[in-house]
Every structure is written in C-alpha cells, then in structure tokens.
Amino acid sequence: MARMYARRKGSSGSTKPHNEALPEWSNTDSKEVTNLIIELGKAGHTTAQIGTILRDQHAVPDVRSVLGGKRIGAVLAENGIGGKYPEDMMNLMRKAVAILEHMGSGNHKDLHNKRALELTEAKIRRLASYYINEGKLESDWKYKREQLRLMVE
C-alpha cells in the first residue's frame, strides 16, 4: 500500500512469528508481569518502553500471550495509569508542539515544516474523530493550536 502523503510505496510492517507456546526460558507468571507493568507505568514509561524493558530485562518475549490476550495499555488503563489522551495521539501532539516551537523561533518562512505541521494536525484531527467514535475522547473535543502546549504538558 502506498503512503498517504508521499508518492512512493512504504515498506511493509513485520509480523511476529506464530508460536503456540512461549519458550521455556521465558517468564510466564502473569501476576508478576502485571505487577512489573504497573510499576513501570507508574515510573512514567510508555507502553512501547514497557514492552522493550520486559523483553530485554525480564525475559517476557510476548506480553499478550502471558496475560491471556491483554495488551500493556489495557493493564495500565485498568489500574488508572496513563494520560488523558491515547499514546499515539499524544506523540503526534508532541510532534506538533516541536514544529510550532521551531516555527516560532525565527523560522516562520520554513515552508517544509509549515507543510509538516499541516499534515501532523490533519493526522491529529483524523485520529481524534476515531477516538471520539470509540468513546475514548469526549464528543465535544476539538483540536486547538493555541491550547496544544497545555494538552501536552
């Protein structure tokens, strides 16, 4: 499939190998893995960082197979850990703030970053409509460039 805003094809995403059972060297204690996720979430790590830490330091190659299909984000949400906005949307909002700071610091004629800001804001709006339909955002939520820094902090 082609990229949305570029005239080239993108590389396809990798897929995990299909394994019925976890290797014998892996940590399969679901209570211990859940406690580690909660502890790392309270420390301020993102879900991707938590997955990497569990894989590299605690011998958990696949969290979903250990927790019976639950994702890291679901465990964090059950325990009230996490932000007001979903992680992917927050990453896009941080990117928009960085571009706005760049544009505001004397680079107002930077046309490439002006376009990048427009594309990032379009992605945020599109993602917001998805999350509103899913019920993860309030139905009256609107993207406002002036309030973006307050949302990210």
108 and 66 in a common domain: no
Q: Is residue 112 part of a domain?
A: yes
Nearest CA-CA partner of 73 in 59, 60, 63: 63
Q: Is residue 24 part of a domain?
A: no
pLDDT in tens, 28-63: 889 999 999 999 999 989 999 999 999 999 999 889
110 and 62 in a common domain: no
Is the Cβ–Cβ distance between 54 and 37 less than 8 Å?
A: yes
Here the CATH number for the domain that contains residue 138 is 1.10.287
Residue 10: the pLDDT is: 67
Is the Cβ–Cβ distance between 99 and 112 less than 8 Å?
A: no
Helices (H) and strands (E) in the chain, counts: 7, 0
Residue 25: the pLDDT is: 87
Mean pLDDT over the full length of the chain: 88
Q: Is residue 4 part of a domain?
A: no
User: Number of structural domains, the chain?
Assistant: 2
71 and 91 in a common domain: no
- Angle (CA) 145 148 150, round 5°: 140
- Map tokens 């019925």 to a residue: 20
- Map tokens 């307050």 to a residue: 150
Predicted TM-score of the model (pTM):
0.76
Query: Does 110 have pLDDT greater than 80?
Result: yes
Residue 123: the pLDDT is: 94
Q: Is residue 117 part of a domain?
A: yes
Give the DSSP per-residue string, 87-142. HHHHHHHHHHHHHHHHHHTT-TT-HHHHHHHHHHHHHHHHHHHHHHHHTSS-TT--
| Residue-number span of the structural domain to which 59 is assigned | 30-78
Query: Does 95 have pLDDT greater than 80?
Result: yes
Instruction: Please state, in angstroms and rounded to a whole number, the distance separating the CA atoms of residues 55 and 52.
Output: 5
68 and 107 in a common domain: no
105 and 70 in a common domain: no
Q: Is residue 37 part of a domain?
A: yes
Q: Is residue 3 part of a domain?
A: no
